């Protein structure tokens, strides 16, 4: 398995059934409410179509029983033209119905995708650090797109078949109630196998969706830039292809099983539908021989009976489709039911731009229960000063910085900015005042200018140039053939690490926030790149409240305050000189980085 993918056990769904409850159906119907006028028009069209569908068999009856025996060409012409006209009108109405079906279903998909995207935007960072990317993509694309058939097939088919059943059934009983009873005697045979088939197809459908999600996960991980590079460097192409082929084979097998389950079911229904007409021909033929029924009546009756059996078969199969649709809705609603844990408080206020202290007071946090990542963190980052965080990897430095913009919610204690708990600020105003520069700079696959404008869409060309000059990247950009319109590639792959970092700093300069967080911004860079980054950092951090994480102590020795983080707690606190005098953890880190050993 590549990159920690989760194994799906096919047996885990055995015995499960979709939750077809009243609450679920009401929730599903809420998506149709905005389009009730169009839905009502579809119902009117379906009722008209059901009446028009009765006419051709009745017209054929009159052609056979009246026009032909009486050799009445004028009547024959009228009946043929009437039959043709009915067919044309039905076709035109069908076109309008198809358009309305498509309009309603596509707009429902549109609404659900918008709702899902907006909902996922509100989910905490912890959600994205644990969920599989392929899973999110599957819910956003194939799951929601699959809902399109719920209206265009399930709802419309149900209404259409209901109208056809009523109009055709009434017509049959008016024509001959004995033949009508004989014809519908086989209807129970349609219903008996339906329930079991619904369970089988639902299980297969849900398992298929899980496999599709796993496929998306593999594609997302191994064919992204980072995953592709890792796969190539470790020569895992054959292993990853084997994993993909296995999942693809399982998905294909499930889809074939689902398709064949439906085919066998339809074959059984087709067998049953042939019994009714044979009974009509048998008994109807007897009545004809006795002189109680005409040939045209028999032919019309068999035609109408076929029109009756079609909807019965579809109505029974509709139960299968409903259960399959519920599987999709359950997966989608599973995501909708995940409530965003980090939201604005009812009385939240906007945070202004005036410089304020950042205070952590006995803050504790854990990614998982009983495994604390931070314990009783207490410190103050004074307004307009630089506070540095140092310590070994995994000590909790990045976690501390993620708590300030409320990417995660603390479990205990308080984080205050300007003496006010950050939970009492609106998220938008809080985050708008925070700029973040990380070691792993993320750039969209667009132009340099587009990536910079992400910070402030109304920025002018002059604003962009000034920010890039301050970040020591302008001269590099203008030397490129397309300048600021240069495409940076996926995740900025066409640029070096130092170039991406300086563009990231320019982006934060354009945002001009009151608080700057820098997480290993100079790590893993060459000496020249580090020099330019440090110069850009000097411009960026002027008159700002900043929190800087660094493994290279040379970049933070001038910090106003240095916090040594160890095992999720603050082990030491002070300036560079004060910490050296303490001869504690910081002094050990300093000695390891700066002492020079001469080997004989």
Over the stretch 344-370, which tens digit does the pLDDT of each residue have? 888 889 887 667 899 999 999 998 887
> pTM here?
0.71
What tokens appear for 170 in the block?
């009434």
What secondary structure, in 3-state letters, does 236-284 show?
CHHHHHHHHHHHHHHHHHHHHHHHHHHHHHHHHHHHHHHHHHHHHHHHH
567-570 contacts, C-beta under 8 A, 24 or more apart? 567/395, 567/396, 568/372, 568/373, 568/374, 568/375, 568/377, 568/395, 568/396, 568/399, 569/374, 569/375, 569/376, 569/377, 569/396, 570/377, 570/378, 570/379
Q: Which pLDDT tens digit goes with each residue over 392-451?
A: 888 899 999 999 999 889 989 999 998 899 999 999 899 888 888 887 778 888 898 998
Segment 307-321 shows an average pLDDT of 71
d(CA 404, CA 549): 14
What is residue 335's three-state secondary structure? helix
What is residue 360's three-state secondary structure? strand
Beta bridge partners of 515: 434, 545
**CATH class for the region spanning 22-336:** mainly alpha
Segment 302-326 shows an average pLDDT of 74
Span of 148-152, 174-178, 191-195, 205-209 with lowest mean pLDDT: 191-195
Q: What angle do CA 275, 281, 282 make, to 5 degrees?
A: 85
The backbone region for 565, taken as left when phi is positive above 0, alpha when psi lies in -120 to 50, beta otherwise, is beta
- pLDDT, the chain, mean: 81
d(CA 386, CA 579): 16
Whether the per-residue pLDDT at 377 is higher than 90: the answer is yes
**Domain 358-594 fold:** Rossmann fold (3.40.50)
Segment 161-168 shows an average pLDDT of 88
Crossing angle of helices 194-222 and 225-233, in 10° steps, is: 70
What is residue 469's three-state secondary structure? helix
Segment 520-543 shows an average pLDDT of 67
d(CA 35, CA 112): 14
Q: Is the dihedral of CA 486, 489, 493, 499 positive or negative?
A: positive
Q: Which pLDDT tens digit goes with each residue over 52-102?
A: 988 988 898 899 988 888 888 999 899 999 989 998 999 999 899 989 988
Cα pseudo-dihedral 76, 77, 79, 82, rounded to 10: 170
At 10 the pLDDT is 34
Whether the per-residue pLDDT at 521 is higher than 50: the answer is yes
Segment 530-534 shows an average pLDDT of 68
Domain locations along the chain: 22-336, 358-594
d(CA 573, CA 564): 6
At 489 the pLDDT is 78
Compute CA distances 443 → 427, 488, 499, 500, 505, whole Å.
Answer: 23, 8, 11, 8, 12
The backbone region for 4, taken as left when phi is positive above 0, alpha when psi lies in -120 to 50, beta otherwise, is left
* Same-fold call for 22-336 versus 358-594: no
Residue pair 408/399 in contact by the 8 Å Cβ criterion? yes
Span of 151-155, 327-331, 336-340, 565-569 with lowest mean pLDDT: 151-155
Phi, psi of 405 (to 5 degrees): -85, 15
Burial of 361 (0-12, 13-18, 19+ CB in 10 A): middle
At 77 the pLDDT is 92
Crossing angle of helices 237-290 and 194-222, in 10° steps, is: 160
Which residues are CB-neighbours of 521 under 8 A, at least 6 positions away?
Answer: 437, 438, 439, 501, 505, 533, 537, 548, 550
Compute CA distances 407 → 57, 174, 401, whole Å.
Answer: 68, 70, 9
The backbone region for 472, taken as left when phi is positive above 0, alpha when psi lies in -120 to 50, beta otherwise, is left
Crossing angle of helices 156-175 and 295-336, in 10° steps, is: 160
At 2 the pLDDT is 39
Q: Which pLDDT tens digit goes with each residue over 468-490?
A: 888 888 888 999 889 999 888 77
Which residues are CB-neighbours of 531 under 8 A, at least 6 positions away?
Answer: none
Segment 2-16 shows an average pLDDT of 36
At 596 the pLDDT is 47
């Amino acid at each position: 398995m590549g990159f920690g993918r989760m194994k799906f056990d096919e047996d885990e769904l055995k015995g499960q059934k979709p939750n077809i409850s009243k609450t679920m159906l009401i929730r599903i119907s809420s998506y149709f409410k905005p389009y009730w006028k169009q839905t009502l028009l579809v119902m009117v069209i379906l009722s008209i179509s059901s009446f028009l569908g009765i006419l051709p068999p009745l017209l054929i009856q009159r052609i056979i029983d009246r026009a032909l025996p009486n050799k009445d060409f004028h009547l024959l012409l009228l009946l043929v033209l009437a039959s043709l006209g009915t067919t044309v009108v039905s076709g035109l109405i069908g076109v309008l119905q198809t358009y309305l079906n498509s309009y309603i279903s596509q707009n429902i998909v549109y609404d659900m995708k918008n709702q899902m995207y907006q909902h996922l935007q509100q989910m905490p960072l912890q959600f994205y650090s644990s969920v599989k990317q392929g899973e999110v993509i599957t819910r956003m694309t194939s799951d929601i797109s699959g809902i399109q058939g719920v209206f265009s097939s399930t709802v419309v088919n149900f209404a259409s078949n209901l109208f056809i059943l009523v109009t055709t059934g009434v017509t049959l009983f008016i024509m001959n109630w004995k033949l009508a009873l004989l014809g519908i005697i086989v209807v129970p045979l349609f219903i008996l196998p339906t329930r079991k088939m619904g369970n089988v197809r639902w299980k297969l459908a849900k398992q298929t969706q899980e496999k599709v999600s796993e496929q998306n996960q593999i594609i997302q991980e191994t064919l992204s830039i980072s995953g592709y590079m890792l796969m190539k460097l470790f020569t895992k192409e054959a292993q990853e292809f084997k994993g993909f082929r296995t999942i693809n084979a399982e998905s294909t097998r499930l889809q074939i099983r689902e398709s064949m389950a439906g085919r066998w079911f339809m074959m059984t229904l087709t067998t049953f539908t042939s019994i009714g007409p044979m009974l009509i021909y048998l008994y109807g033929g007897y009545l004809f021989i006795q002189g109680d029924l005409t040939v045209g009546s028999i032919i019309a009756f068999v035609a109408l009976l076929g029109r009756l059996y079609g909807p019965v078969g579809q109505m029974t199969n509709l139960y299968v489709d409903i259960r399959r649709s519920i599987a999709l809705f359950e997966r989608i609603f599973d995501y909708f039911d995940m409530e965003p844990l980090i939201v604005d408080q009812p009385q939240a206020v906007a945070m202004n731009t005036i410089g304020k202290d950042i205070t952590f007071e006995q803050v504790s946090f854990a990614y998982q229960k009983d495994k604390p990542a931070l314990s009783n963190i207490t410190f103050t980052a004074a307004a307009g000063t630089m506070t540095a965080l140092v310590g070994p990897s995994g000590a909790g430095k990045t976690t501390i910085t993620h708590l300030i913009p409320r990417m995660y919610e603390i479990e205990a204690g308080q984080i205050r900015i300007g003496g006010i708990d950050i939970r009492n600020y609106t998220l938008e105003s809080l985050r708008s005042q925070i700029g973040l520069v990380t070691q792993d700079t993320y750039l969209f696959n667009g132009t340099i200018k587009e990536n910079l404008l992400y910070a402030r869409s109304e920025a002018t060309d002059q604003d962009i140039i000034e920010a890039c000059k301050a970040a020591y990247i302008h001269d590099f950009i203008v030397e490129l053939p397309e300048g600021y319109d240069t495409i940076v590639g996926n995740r900025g792959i066409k640029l070096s690490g130092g170039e991406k970092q300086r563009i990231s700093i320019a982006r934060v300069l354009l945002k001009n926030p009151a608080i700057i967080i820098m997480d290993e911004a100079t790590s893993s860079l060459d000496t020249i790149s580090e020099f330019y980054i440090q110069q850009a950092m000097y411009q960026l951090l002027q008159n700002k409240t900043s929190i800087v994480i660094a493994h290279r102590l040379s970049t933070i020795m001038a910090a106003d305050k240095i916090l040594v983080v160890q095992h999720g707690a603050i082990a030491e606190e002070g300036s560079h000189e004060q910490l050296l005098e303490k001869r504690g953890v910081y002094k050990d880190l300093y000695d390891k980085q700066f002492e020079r050993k001469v080997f004989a």
